Structure 1
Amino acid sequence: MTKSLVLVTGGSGFIASHIIIQLLNQGYQVRTTVRSLKKVPLIKKMLTTGGITDFTDLSFAEADLMNEEPWADAVAGAEYVIHVASPTPTLNFKNEDEMIRPAVNGVLYVLRAASQAHVKRVVLTSAYGAIFAGHRDRKTPFTEDVWSDLNAKGIHPYQRSKTMAEHAAWDFMAKDKSWMTLAAVNPVGVMGPVLASDYSHSNIQIQDMLEGKTKAVPKVDSGYIDVRDVASLHILAMTKPEAAGQRFLATTGETLSMMDVANILRRHFPAFASNLPTHVLPTTLLKLAARTNPMLRMVASVAGTYAETSDHKAVTLLGWQHRSAEEAIVATAQSMIDLGIVEVPGN
């Protein structure tokens, strides 16, 4: 029996690498895209860290979000596409277009190629940023029915890019004449085991806390989800008939402050206690500092905002199961220690 081929875009990414691991373990053939084939050794190293020993069913294609031409070959023969690749939050962009254009165009390149190749379903990795932004007076948990309000003030270009890219995907599907279906997964802050020193921006806050670089935490609430559970949700969204045409928040439904995160690390990793922050930075000071420090702008844009979310739809419609936010945070820190990314004080 021929194994189904799944194209996973952006194979060197944190979420994509965990999706690839689960697909290979479940008996799929996987082709993954990279901007440069020079990334192949890194990806294989990450997958090996994640327990993969046989690369027979894994292949690579060179493609990027700025060029449509390679996508037809990348998608050829695939039954499913999981489109994870997206510009990550960059701190020194010249203008919003640097983030928005590749996100929107990349989605359209992949969807066009997938439609022409008669792909069954595309799963788009969107973001919580396409749901919560611009809703400052929210009082009830965010669900998949909510979209970020791009007319609101102070929306960071990353959230704008994720929202516009997902809108572009659904608009494309409304006009598509093939039998292809689309599902979207919208993760909150993604934690969990890192496989190399190349990982998601959400995890950098854990590294910074453990290394004593965070002297005080901003007043930011967030949901957190384990990357392994984000990966399993993508595969459910790929295979379950009822996922067609749906969005799914990847969240545990818990909301933690950054001080809660620091306290979890303090409990589980007492050797790092003296490095971990004990003070909260007033939001007025944070916003003032963000005027001159681009690194603080994204954090400042969400400081003090409501962040409750619901996991109800993914759990009830797809039977999805997830770890707790605490487990995800502990797994992040433990993997950084195990890989030598963070050194235990005194060792």
Structure 2
Amino acid sequence: MPELVLVTGGTGYIAGWCVAELLRRGHDVRTTVRAPGREQAVLDAVSTVADPAGRLDFAVADLTADAGWEAAVKGVDRVLHVASPLGVSATAPDLVTPARDGTLRVLRAATAAGVRRVVMTSAANAASPSSYASEGVTDETLWTDPEDPTLIPYRRAKTLAELAAWEFIREHGGATELTTVLPGAVFGPVLTPDTAGSVGIVARMLSGAMPGVPRIGLEVVDVRDLVDVHLAAMTSPAAAGERFLATGEFVWMAELARFLREGLGERGRQVPTRGLPDFAVRLAARFRDPSLREITPALGRRNRHTTEKAARLLGWRPRPARETVLDCAESLLAHGAVRVPAAQRP
């Protein structure tokens, strides 16, 4: 009999791909939406790559409230907890409470229902040195120090949410197993331009909205590869009770821009090539664009993560960053998510 898998946050970028791939592999799927009326958006997105007819249903449940979670997990065998209520620090100063409490709501409901395994999407930023100046390669045994006063709110929230999940399972998990997946910068094709997630960076570069490229390094992971590691972690006996880094190739944003310019030809003409000095990014973050404060601590960061554990236990191999970035760009262009001048269209 096909297993019923719950995916939290079906309208999200990663969750939408999880739903689609689970359906493609023959699973029955339930996914949560925050409010009634959002179901059709999920159906429209998923239908571009998989047939949801008769095998996808919905539950209304918000990570910020208790209501709906008991019904969401009823009859469920496994849970992919992908959703996160996190926003931008400038507009949501308290990111820790919704991230941690939302995770605990899912785990309480899952353990009470006897779910076999929960796979939680964390972040590589929860397994990184506190100092952005650190170099070298780190693995899953490292935990970010949530008490470090220099951490941006996003990193602190993701770390504390994952710590709370492991503590809960140790104390109350019973027969329910927990696995966590820690991705890097998630790019790749979009199912719909309305759920573009982190690929907004690529869209901004394609549209010419960025005056230049900051000295930021990204561990680019394809959303399709990220879904693969989630599904492997969901079923592999070796994955129970484990953390798995799911980062990809390390590239500087200047390299990312080069991939786009060289791979897209005229359609990539608006992609910036000029590097932005660190001091210019810091000045802009202070006086013009507060959202840039999230990236200033990472300027020049060279620390990288190893995915040897995911390769060894789950057989996981991410694709090259260039392929991911170009597939992402082609998808955004095909969906009309980026406006390219007529003279640059094929």
Q: Normalized against structure 2, the TM-score is what?
A: 0.95
**For residue 76 of structure 1, what is the aligned residue in structure 2?**
74
Compute the displacement of 1:133 (Å): 5.5
**Which residue of 202, 209, 213 maps to 2:205?**
209
Compute the displacement of 1:91 (Å): 5.3
**For residue 107 of structure 1, what is the aligned residue in structure 2?**
103
Compute the displacement of 1:154 (Å): 2.7
8 A Cα contact 2:218 2:251, kept in partner = yes
> 235-244 vs 67-76, which deviates more?
67-76
Compute the displacement of 1:31 (Å): 0.4
Q: What is the alpha-carbon distance in structure 1 between the residues aligned to residue 100 and residue 92 of structure 2?
A: 18
Q: What is the alpha-carbon distance in structure 1 between the residues aligned to residue 129 and residue 19 of structure 2?
A: 30
AA matched with 2:136: T
**For residue 45 of structure 1, what is the aligned residue in structure 2?**
44
Compute the displacement of 1:222 (Å): 1.2
**For residue 334 of structure 2, what is the aligned residue in structure 1?**
338
**For residue 154 of structure 1, what is the aligned residue in structure 2?**
150
What CA deviation, in whole Å up to 9, does each residue of 1:14-62 have, x standing for no partner? 110111111111111100000012211111111122x223421100000
**Residue 166 to residue 71, structure 1, CA distance change in 2 (3 Å):** same
SS of the residue corresponding to residue 276 of structure 1 reads coil
**Which residue of 262, 268, 287 maps to 2:282?**
287
**Residue 79 to residue 94, structure 1, CA distance change in 2 (3 Å):** closer
> 285-294 vs 108-117, which deviates more?
285-294
8 A Cα contact 1:9 1:32, kept in partner = yes
SS of the residue corresponding to residue 82 of structure 1 reads strand
**For residue 255 of structure 2, what is the aligned residue in structure 1?**
260
SS of the residue corresponding to residue 157 of structure 2 reads helix
> 199-208 vs 5-14, which deviates more?
199-208
Q: What is the alpha-carbon distance in structure 2 between the residues aligned to residue 257 and residue 199 of structure 1?
A: 25
SS of the residue corresponding to residue 322 of structure 2 reads helix
Q: What is the alpha-carbon distance in structure 1 between the residues aligned to residue 271 and residue 282 of structure 2?
A: 22
What CA deviation, in whole Å up to 9, does each residue of 1:94-116 have, x standing for no partner? 52x2x221110011000011001
Q: Identical aligned pairs, as a percentage?
A: 39
SS of the residue corresponding to residue 198 of structure 1 reads helix
The question of 1:297 aligning with 2:293 is answered: yes
8 A Cα contact 2:311 2:317, kept in partner = yes
SS of the residue corresponding to residue 232 of structure 2 reads helix
What CA deviation, in whole Å up to 9, does each residue of 1:186-229 have, x standing for no partner? 00000111111223442111000100011111111110010001
SS of the residue corresponding to residue 313 of structure 1 reads helix
The question of 1:23 aligning with 2:22 is answered: yes
Compute the displacement of 1:137 (Å): 4.2
> 35-44 vs 260-269, which deviates more?
35-44
What is the RMSD computed on CA atoms of the aligned residues?
1.5
**Residue 304 to residue 246, structure 1, CA distance change in 2 (3 Å):** same
8 A Cα contact 2:135 2:303, kept in partner = no
Q: What is the alpha-carbon distance in structure 2 between the residues aligned to residue 57 and residue 221 of structure 1?
A: 40
8 A Cα contact 1:255 1:309, kept in partner = no
Q: What is the alpha-carbon distance in structure 1 between the residues aligned to residue 269 and residue 316 of structure 2?
A: 38
The question of 1:141 aligning with 2:137 is answered: yes
**For residue 8 of structure 1, what is the aligned residue in structure 2?**
7
AA matched with 1:62: V
> 272-281 vs 243-252, which deviates more?
272-281
Residue ranges of structure 2 left out of the alignment (5+ in a row) = none
SS of the residue corresponding to residue 46 of structure 1 reads helix
8 A Cα contact 1:215 1:276, kept in partner = no
8 A Cα contact 1:135 1:148, kept in partner = no
SS of the residue corresponding to residue 37 of structure 1 reads coil
Compute the displacement of 1:285 (Å): 2.0
Residue ranges of structure 1 left out of the alignment (5+ in a row) = none
SS of the residue corresponding to residue 6 of structure 1 reads strand
Compute the displacement of 1:177 (Å): 4.9
